Structure 1
């Protein structure tokens, strides 16, 4: 082949790889933005917006969702991290770092001449074997008093002892049955407030105040009414009000509304929680009757309050029913009070489902958000650990799984083995990054750990980030939920495959919105 032909061939290869390299660079840029936060010695990241507002955090998903990323491949990676947060609530940084390593290794193999299809074939086989290997190493947590439960909270809570203690106490109050319920999100029970004291209590917090200061500040042993609607009269159209019949209907609705409010008073309801607004007449009548009314309650808080008090939410039309029917929709709580300092209403000791709340105190407004994120991570990790069990952390699990995935290579035909190599390299990445963030040589420590695991047969060996020595992660109390690991690994494999499959990037044309006439003309063609 002549020099000219070689140059031409090289240009064709470069053009064919252009989309892949562009996407890989975007993914690696995103991964590099969060990899410095990984591990116990990971550092914080500062995010600054155009107005100078600052967020300082160590939380991977917060960094990813707040950072300014316009590249489509970068947004794909961010969406994977967001999905991990929604499903598991922790492990987003690990997923991002492994995805970056998978894509980077995959691009290197393609650049060497390995067909993308073969890389993907090996990648799939490696990820499948890796997930099986992770799952079989899980150690179940049957008892919430197992010391490993607190260790999970402490690791996910970045070493904050007070937060770990709060989360574990709340988990024990809620109970194992509730924690394994897929519809229940333990992280939603966490809130942080400036100036608040750390505490766990059986109840829910409504982040609203009563409608006026004449309403009672505190009530005990009261029925609770939850209205998933506005507490207002039924509405009539303006055209109807212009007629005599319409005005008569309006007056009828007003009288009926007054009767409905009187029913609430007759039933001796102490607390009324309303999804939307409350009419002035209802506010006046209920205030005079000594009822605490909270309007425009967030849907999530309204639902939790209904579950905890045993109330069945009703619409405004439900108040037309008889007293006994309405009584059957009421919940109950032993105590409700208005915390004027925190501007909240606390509903305590409801007669419905147990619902613990974790209140995390913060000294200043600047650290409220970060304290809440840390506590939510800890709560999510504890719930995941109870649901699926735990595995050794610190990168030990991934390193042990990498050795097992390497065995898949021998059974692969042709160039697919190079795809397996990508998975092996990605599995080594978490330990290497944790060690690097702790100030040690990752290549040296990686080799030491692999040799120690093989020699002793102990898959829990990794690096003690304080001393740099090889140590058993279970003995150090460095454990992670297996669900966090498997979901992160699976997500990394999916995003890597999706990006490696992109061969061409084409800008979409902008579609103009059709007007009524254009749409009609188009339909008649």
Structure 2
């Protein structure tokens, strides 16, 4: 029976109605991103209700902005988001794998295999495939490894400028920092439509000094990092009408002035805050030659703290004795860009090294896409440093699909049908890459399979320019292991969650 016949609503077993609805929704989501995969992938235009336009082939951007209503479709979108949050790349692959697992799983259920057996088999097949992926990984030896540049080049969609910038930033950051599980090289990417693309040593803040009378630069200065507003405590209006309340307000003001005097005595040269600045504080600090930058985000506070060793404090800590405040100060140099960016660069900190990748383009729409591409490249480079790389173009998945098929033959019972689902799904990435390149996937996939067996290779795939069988490693078409690993793992988790849904019941609204 053909797929289109199977999913005809009039002919589907009523007991499978929830699965039918779910698989159709999942396929619809996958179809929105499948044409973006591979070197010949096309762009998608997203159009908002007010006519705003985004042109992109970034899977997570498409899924994040598209209108999705079906609950199962939301689950697939969440896979892409999880992939983006964890790896910063591979969202389209994760989505296609999840859709393929659901689709192939439902076929097995429709043919009579109990859904619990299909799910158990999928889980076994995924675990086996993930182990095989790890076994096939090629390690990155050092930051000058030529494969690292190839990975950046591929992830940047063959943009040489982005490739050079990302590799330069990786060298500035260093191997140790790139291995830090809490650090994201992609967070170092900032974008502006009217600037020169460049790489800077240090932390860029999307802010400017509080007023032009403050110094534009400070060298090796003490930094006070305030995760709060720099304002005096106040009493409410009702209390202020009483004598006690008025005196309390005056006491708050005196304490605040003392705190400002302590900053000056401690030779604080830079004050960075997340909130607002009291006008009196602005005047005093300006007169004292202190540079103030306000409105920092929590992410910026974290990066500044790591780079300068300044400890973020709340406003109440300002009223402590000077000898208690001094140890929480950091050290760094800061300069405000004198061009059109209106941003400041903090560099030379005594803490962890940081780099900022500034990318640019002629328009807001284009610069947004360039920023997304650069973040993908940065994420891919960091993932490769951590876990090594594997053949790209769907070659590795196709090779592992063959291993999974052999693994299936060793399993007794109906779980083997679930394992077969994984083998079928692993063919999906190369199938889509080949289709997007304009070739017949049925013909090409079978030919590649035969050649992989003949040469005992996991790196043979299709040259998308010529349509010939080529070695992906020799062509330089490689992907970070961790991106593929997490994509398959996340796809397996959501696919089994969707397949477990037997009934869909609409909840009533709370009264």
Please indicate the TM-score interval, normalised by the length of the shorter structure.
over 0.9
Return the alpha-carbon distance in structure 1 between the equivalents of residues 411 and 495 of structure 2: 20
Kindly indicate whether residue 52 of structure 2 is the aligned counterpart of residue 35 of structure 1.
no
Note the C-alpha offset of 1:323.
2.8
Kindly indicate whether residue 138 of structure 2 is the aligned counterpart of residue 104 of structure 1.
no
Instruction: State the partner residue of 1:341.
Output: 340
**In the TM superposition, what whole-angstrom CA distance separates every residue of 1:326-376 from its partner, at most 9, and x where no partner exists?**
222221223422445112122122222111111112222221111111111
Is the 8 Å Cα contact of residues 202 and 356 (structure 1) preserved in structure 2? yes
Instruction: State the partner residue of 2:115.
Output: 116
**In the TM superposition, what whole-angstrom CA distance separates every residue of 1:413-453 from its partner, at most 9, and x where no partner exists?**
23322222211111001001001111111111111111111
Map 1:152-163 → 2, pairs under 5 A: 152-163=151-162
Note the C-alpha offset of 1:255.
1.5
- Give the 3-state SS of the residue equivalent to 2:348 in structure 1: strand
Kindly indicate whether residue 494 of structure 2 is the aligned counterpart of residue 495 of structure 1.
yes
Instruction: State the partner residue of 1:483.
Output: 482
Return the alpha-carbon distance in structure 2 between the equivalents of residues 391 and 460 of structure 1: 8
Return the alpha-carbon distance in structure 2 between the equivalents of residues 259 and 502 of structure 1: 63
- Give the 3-state SS of the residue equivalent to 1:270 in structure 2: strand
Instruction: State the partner residue of 1:459.
Output: 458
Instruction: State the partner residue of 1:276.
Output: 275
Is the 8 Å Cα contact of residues 204 and 346 (structure 2) preserved in structure 1? yes
RMSD of aligned residue pairs (Cα, Å):
1.6
Is the 8 Å Cα contact of residues 220 and 348 (structure 2) preserved in structure 1? no
Is the 8 Å Cα contact of residues 336 and 342 (structure 2) preserved in structure 1? no
Return the alpha-carbon distance in structure 2 between the equivalents of residues 259 and 338 of structure 1: 32
Return the alpha-carbon distance in structure 2 between the equivalents of residues 339 and 413 of structure 1: 71
Return the alpha-carbon distance in structure 2 between the equivalents of residues 323 and 510 of structure 1: 56
Map 1:36-435 → 2, pairs under 5 A: 36-435=35-434
**In the TM superposition, what whole-angstrom CA distance separates every residue of 1:468-487 from its partner, at most 9, and x where no partner exists?**
11111111111111111111
Moved more, 211-220 or 154-163: 211-220
Is the 8 Å Cα contact of residues 339 and 346 (structure 1) preserved in structure 2? no
Gaps of 5+ in 2: 1-8
Return the alpha-carbon distance in structure 1 between the equivalents of residues 85 and 264 of structure 2: 41
Return the alpha-carbon distance in structure 2 between the equivalents of residues 323 and 133 of structure 1: 59
Note the C-alpha offset of 1:13.
6.1
Note the C-alpha offset of 1:20.
0.5
- Give the 3-state SS of the residue equivalent to 1:23 in structure 2: helix
Return the alpha-carbon distance in structure 1 between the equivalents of residues 345 and 63 of structure 2: 34
**In the TM superposition, what whole-angstrom CA distance separates every residue of 1:62-106 from its partner, at most 9, and x where no partner exists?**
111100000000000001111111111111100101111111111
Is the 8 Å Cα contact of residues 122 and 417 (structure 1) preserved in structure 2? yes
Kindly indicate whether residue 505 of structure 2 is the aligned counterpart of residue 506 of structure 1.
yes
Return the alpha-carbon distance in structure 2 between the equivalents of residues 195 and 46 of structure 1: 23
Note the C-alpha offset of 1:17.
1.1
Return the alpha-carbon distance in structure 1 between the equivalents of residues 145 and 231 of structure 2: 51
Is the 8 Å Cα contact of residues 90 and 484 (structure 1) preserved in structure 2? yes
- Give the 3-state SS of the residue equivalent to 1:42 in structure 2: coil
Is the 8 Å Cα contact of residues 219 and 337 (structure 1) preserved in structure 2? no
Instruction: State the partner residue of 1:519.
Output: none
Is the 8 Å Cα contact of residues 218 and 338 (structure 1) preserved in structure 2? no
Moved more, 363-372 or 47-56: 363-372
- Give the 3-state SS of the residue equivalent to 1:225 in structure 2: strand
- Give the 3-state SS of the residue equivalent to 2:267 in structure 1: coil
Return the alpha-carbon distance in structure 1 between the equivalents of residues 503 and 249 of structure 2: 64
**In the TM superposition, what whole-angstrom CA distance separates every residue of 1:126-160 from its partner, at most 9, and x where no partner exists?**
11111111110011113111011111111111111
Return the alpha-carbon distance in structure 2 between the equivalents of residues 117 and 264 of structure 1: 66
Note the C-alpha offset of 1:11.
8.2
Return the alpha-carbon distance in structure 2 between the equivalents of residues 339 and 460 of structure 1: 50
Return the alpha-carbon distance in structure 2 between the equivalents of residues 408 and 462 of structure 1: 22
Note the C-alpha offset of 1:272.
0.8
Q: Structure 1 length as normaliser, TM-score?
A: 0.93
Instruction: State the partner residue of 1:445.
Output: 444
Instruction: State the partner residue of 2:4.
Output: none
Return the alpha-carbon distance in structure 2 between the equivalents of residues 288 and 163 of structure 1: 42
- Give the number of aligned pairs: 503
